Copies of this chain bind each other. A is one copy, B any other.
Amino acid sequence: MPTIGIFVNLQKDRYLDVTRQLVDELTHQQADFYLETSIAAALQIPEFGMEEEELYRNCQVLMALGGDGTILGVARRAAPIGIPIAGINLGRMGFLTEIEIGDLKKVVRQILAGRYEVEHRMMLAAKVTGPNRPEPLEIQCAMNDLMVTRHSVNRMLRVVLEANNGLLDRFSGDGVVIASPTGSTGYSLSAGGPIVDPLLPCMVVTPICAHTLHSRSMVLSRDEEIRIRAARPEEAMLLMVDGQESYAIFPGDEIAVARSPYEALFLRLQARDFYSLVRNKLWEWSQ
């Protein structure tokens, strides 16, 4: 039986009700499991606590209670280690959370028995180099997207994009978002990008509020390396990872975005229809 590591988004399970339910079920089925130290303490089972770092190192399956945002963070950490994740949905319907609360009991049994498939999802990586960086900044894994925007409030950024064969596009605007197929339904969609089958081997490059009116969303092979820089060398920018982590980009820096060597692994416990998820989300968003 795999050792289970449990992550909890406290904002979504404020009183730890669902976490306790999960813990009870795992105990009942005599599973090995651990939670973050603070959560274990709050549940008064400190012997099941482990530092975050340790959880990633010592568990064979991760269960994450929260919404898509929670899963994004766990996925970026779990991917380089190669541990699969099962997302338990505590919010509105999500693209990455697989399990509904009502199914906890059944699901725990399935996971412990190894009755699941593992879906591999492509991730993105970024490497930032520049005259003021003795060492490049490396982002190993982004699940949904990498976004590059102006750093200051001055309105327009002029961006140069290159790919394997040279110049890709050049435009003025608020910035550019490069999404994995999984991320096509995230910020990329708001910026005008298409909805992409999550298993298609590609990246989606979409200008954000381009003033260069002909600029369009582009779907590239995942084997491209996309280099991004400001046309004006004195311009600082901002790099955001999954909309959650931000990094300063110094004048003269170049950001190289490519497929990550790591993949996110998600437990699949049942057949899933991506397009039905999309329809439901679009519906939800239209309200």
- Taking Cβ atoms with an 8 Å cutoff, the residues of A that contact B are 153-156, 163, 165-169, 172-174, 184, 187, 189-191, 193-197, 199-202, 204, 208-214, 216-221, 224, 238, 240, 243-244, 246, 273-276, 279, 282-283, 285-287
Contact = CB atoms under 8 A, between A and B. Distances in A.
A285 B193 contact: no
The number of times this chain is found in the oligomer is 4
Given A214-B214, A275-B168, A238 B197 contact: no
7 contacts: A166-B275, A168-B275, A189-B216, A190-B209, A190-B211, A194-B216, A213-B282
B285 A212 contact: yes
Contacts of A212: 285-287
B189 A213 contact: yes
A197 B214 contact: no
A193 B194 contact: yes
A209 B191 CA distance: 5
A276 B166 contact: yes
Contacts of A244: 154
Contact of A201 (B201, B211, B214, B283): B201
